[in-house]
Structure 1
């Protein structure tokens, strides 16, 4: 037995909080009867409707994908380009990516059909660390690295402090490999941060998400997260609550 709002969130219809609002507004029915009480629990045989539309209940699934470059972080693309769900053709559940990685960025991406879990991981206040490795044009100075560490002023505000490490440099080609750790998730954030200090990104990969790594995976490979990993991610996202 599960609470109605949790079932709605797992089905990807809305977040748990939004589902509670829908219930309060009288827009949710269980077996034909309007349900407003948040404590109501349902069994797998109960029929749930939101605005008259049946909620299709699926078992929650959680995957880690090593997203290759040249792939869209979406479930479909009107230009016919390859999308991340193309790597899950045998999966019957309607999964979608948690957040996104740019078309030209590779690395860790989580996919699920659990809307509540996805919203929890993406909420800005939860500050899950993401580690990227960037190949950049030019060789950043110590002062430039400190600017990244302190936070960079972008058009949508100053970024939170970041951790950085210069991994290597090629003086002949005038390129450098830099590791950067952030916990925000703004659009193209890492690329914009490096552009702001005058070192455009040539290549970018997300190597770590919280405690998850790409160990044992090649580009295009995916694996299911273990129940323990899912539990750990929830705990990581909720540690400040």
Structure 2
């Protein structure tokens, strides 16, 4: 179905009347893709939007499964903010990606971003997909945008492209590119296909680069520049199929 106002969406789900839906939204009890909704917001379940009331997913008769096929495990794309841990629970009580997601269905993150790194991360109920995407032999690409304190020296650019010697061995060659046609020389795109712990931060430290911020902007074929920090959405069928193809054929 096309995008419709949230109060209409809630009414079609049989949860309340349209006026009752407006009251729920005004009270801050409705979230759209993990972010508290406002009157005037619209949702398209078939397009991957996820609506919840008091933390419980809302389904409609024509949009079972949160925007994808009901015969496949749910997979979310999240935009992790800084300060959030990439696990479903934390023994120290710190915020985790679980706080961004509805309580059901049960999912788990694919890979991790360190606490201060922002950007895209996947959470899924699909165990084989998670295994395929994290297996080192498949080399699924992850693209990051780095903000450096100073422009990237040519010597460091060449070193990143060749591989950087770390304590656990030489890294695989990375793809290095300027961001926004080089307008800001302190912004650099770096694409890797390994998954070592804090790899990019360690590479920068080894080369004497002052890294100010780090954000993951692409996982394999998936990117979404419009996904806001702290929000999430369900993968579309096409995205899910592309991800599975990448994970099982890379």
Tell me whether the two structures share a fold, i.e. TM-score over 0.5.
Answer: yes
Give the equivalent residue in structure 2 for 1:205. Answer: 215
Structure 1 residues 170-196: Cα deviation after superposition (integer angstroms, max 9, x where no partner): 7xxxx8211101111111011111111
After superposition, where does 1:18-29 map in structure 2 within 5 Å?
Answer: none
Given the alignment of the two structures, is residue 234 of structure 1 paired with residue 244 of structure 2, yes or no?
A: yes
CA distance in 1, matches of 2:140, 2:115: 22
Q: Tell me how many residue pairs correspond in the alignment.
A: 178
Give a deviation string over 1:127-184, Cα, whole Å, max 9, x none: 11111001123332111101000000100111111111233587xxxx8211101111
The root-mean-square deviation of aligned C-alpha atoms, in Å, is: 1.8
Shift of 1:62: 0.4
Q: Which residue of structure 1 lines up, in the alignment, with residue 130 of structure 2?
A: 118
In structure 2, list runs of 5 or more residues that go unmatched: 1-70
Task: Give the 5 Å matches for 1:36-185.
Answer: 60-89=73-102, 91-167=103-179, 168=182, 176-185=186-195
3-state SS, counterpart of residue 125 of structure 1: coil
* Residue 186 (structure 1) aligns with: 196
- How much does 1:115 deviate? 1.3
Q: In 2, Cα distance between the equivalents of 1:166 and 1:227?
A: 32
Question: How far apart in 1 are the matches of 2:116 and 2:224?
Answer: 17
Q: 2:39 aligns to what?
A: none
For each residue in 1:33-56, what CA deviation from the matched residue of structure 2 results, as whole angstroms up to 9, or x when unmatched?
xxxxxxxxxxxxxxxxxxxxxxxx
Tell me what 2:234 maps to. Answer: 224
What is residue 18 of structure 2 aligned with on the other side? none
- Provide the C-alpha distance between the structure 2 equivalents of 1:147 and 1:109, rounded to a whole number of angstroms: 27
TM-score between the two structures when normalised by the length of structure 2:
0.67
TM-score by length of 1: 0.70
More strand, by proportion:
1
CA distance in 1, matches of 2:120, 2:241: 18
